[in-house]
Chains A and B, each alone.
Chain A
């Protein structure tokens, strides 16, 4: 692990309260992610992969412990501060792409830029660059409904990188795609990590997908188990 730490989790606890019952997910979880890393998180269903990713992305908050990002604590931020933090630092890639069905590819990719002060011309340029990077320049005007799953996920990747965030979080980004298309997407993520220096954390069920990462963490019953493989 590099000395240049982007994420540091110490003693993170997380439990959900369902009715009267308290469901513990994590108890004293420690973890560090270096700048430029590409981490795959694997583990059985219900082991807390998505919950962990949500806490990293600031869409869910831990019940205890600390989460540091780039030298600042994020677990204690207010809802609105966390929202701004997400806009500045995180790119999300979802299993089901989560594109806005009423917007074409270009407009979907533009969304994160609406939260910046960039001019319209500047935004258009950045959108073009992002779409070119995922090889979809010719689909800029297409609606999500007119594109294949793989194409939609590439639009989603363009959306995740368009505002140049430090960290990209993916939850089963290839879970809905066939092998060939999945490999294309994973190669794209690898390229973003290798050539563009993006730090990536990816949750996956698929060992073949995990092979694209630099290392894999195995979660089981709320703990990392020692099966770490360094690529």
Chain B
């Protein structure tokens, strides 16, 4: 007896050779599997891109302090004397002008999205010179920095790209205040590019915050070393603050959008069920179409295992071809595509879809599952096809 593998290979090749007879049905199956995989990848790439954007924002050299129990900057309050105490703490890096500390305010303003023409939130951050210096990957792309004490602001590249009316020289009205855009900055694609920056004192006064802030950023003496700051906080009862590295803060924010990936899997699973129904139909038709051929081969002595495997292989080839097509389509359409979504603080985070080999792997697995499931029952029928079919009349 020749090897079973040789039988399976030749039966598979014959099945593929007969695909032309079922061209449209087979193409429909390829297409359905392509769509399902493309949709899954789009969701996964979105989640991945968001996570990368958030992760990229964080530095382990910077500590961020917020009121105890505040998960985001928006619902935190920090007072001036707390800022002073932290500034005097051990563990904070110094430069020529003293401790590198940036008390910051973070308010929400409205902008009009270019894509939809609808209003969406943009964070307006008040910070000082040290705050900008701390963001080491920050660079001015165009124009200049805002002058402290004026209604000037600089815009992140993401905001400029996604929203109307933030070009240099434009005057923008938020509430009853007019602001002038004087520069555009980039921070290497991370979340800060989705923000507007202005002088901290001006924002305090325009938004009636008195002497309060929402967060404090400090540059750490030693990379990642929060120890001295934590000691200061423990010792001083007035400091009801939590300290974490900026990296840790953003990483936990980025995880929030993991639900997109889960959602993507759910949507794709539902769509995969639809695709499966079509694929099953295609494969049953294939078996019916090949009935005489299957039976003839069985009469010649080909095993039922080869009939089974040949059919499964056909289904896998079609589904995986679709998976590849879907992957390339998703890659072509989505990789690097910019979009924005509601971030952790109900503001728009501008980020890019990000494709990666591990996403393709997930797409491939989905395609294989579609192929296998849609091939299994028809293959079972093929394997149990009565050989006497070969002798039946009619062509």
Which residues of B lie under 8 Å from residue A86 when comparing CB positions? 299-301
Docked Cα-Cα span, A60 to B387, in Å, equals 8
Which of B6-14, B34-42, B162-170, B224-232 touches A? B6-14
Which of A26-34, A92-100, A187-195 touches B? A92-100
CB–CB B304/A80 < 8 A: yes
Any chain B CB within 8 A of the CB of A137?
no
B133 smallest CB distance to A (angstroms)? 71
CB–CB B10/A50 < 8 A: no
**How many residues of chain A have a CB within 8 Å of chain B?**
32
- Known interface pairs A59-B390, A114-B6. Does A100 touch B14 (Cβ–Cβ under 8 Å)? yes
Which residues of B lie under 8 Å from residue A25 when comparing CB positions? none
CB–CB A115/B1 < 8 A: yes
CB < 8 Å: which of A87, A88, A94, A159 contacts B391? A94
Any chain B CB within 8 A of the CB of A101?
yes
Contact indicator per residue, chain A 110-131, by CB within 8 Å of chain B (1) or not (0): 0111111110000000000000
Docked Cα-Cα span, A79 to B385, in Å, equals 12
Which residues of A lie under 8 Å from residue B146 when comparing CB positions? none
Any chain A CB within 8 A of the CB of B293?
yes
Which residues of B lie under 8 Å from residue A92 when comparing CB positions? 296, 299-300, 390
Any chain A CB within 8 A of the CB of B298?
yes
A26 smallest CB distance to B (angstroms)? 15
**How many residues of chain B have a CB within 8 Å of chain A?**
25
CB < 8 Å: which of B2, B7, B300, B391 contacts A50? B391
* Binding site secondary structure of chain B: helix
CB < 8 Å: which of A57, A88, A100, A117 contacts B299? A57
Contacting residues of chain A (162-218) with chain B, CB-CB under 8 angstroms: 171
Which residues of B lie under 8 Å from residue A79 when comparing CB positions? 304
Docked Cα-Cα span, A84 to B299, in Å, equals 10
Any chain A CB within 8 A of the CB of B357?
no
CB–CB A102/B304 < 8 A: no
CB–CB A114/B299 < 8 A: no
Any chain B CB within 8 A of the CB of A10?
no
CB < 8 Å: which of B6, B14, B300, B387 contacts A112? B300
Any chain B CB within 8 A of the CB of A133?
no
Contact indicator per residue, chain A 52-95, by CB within 8 Å of chain B (1) or not (0): 01100101100000000000000000011001101110001011
Any chain A CB within 8 A of the CB of B176?
no
16 extra interface residue pairs, beta carbon distance < 8 Å, beyond A87-B1, A116-B1: A53-B391, A54-B387, A60-B387, A60-B388, A83-B302, A86-B301, A87-B302, A92-B296, A92-B300, A100-B14, A100-B296, A100-B297, A103-B17, A111-B302, A112-B300, A117-B2
7 sampled A-B residue pairs with Cβ under 8 A: A50-B391, A59-B390, A84-B1, A86-B301, A96-B393, A115-B1, A159-B300
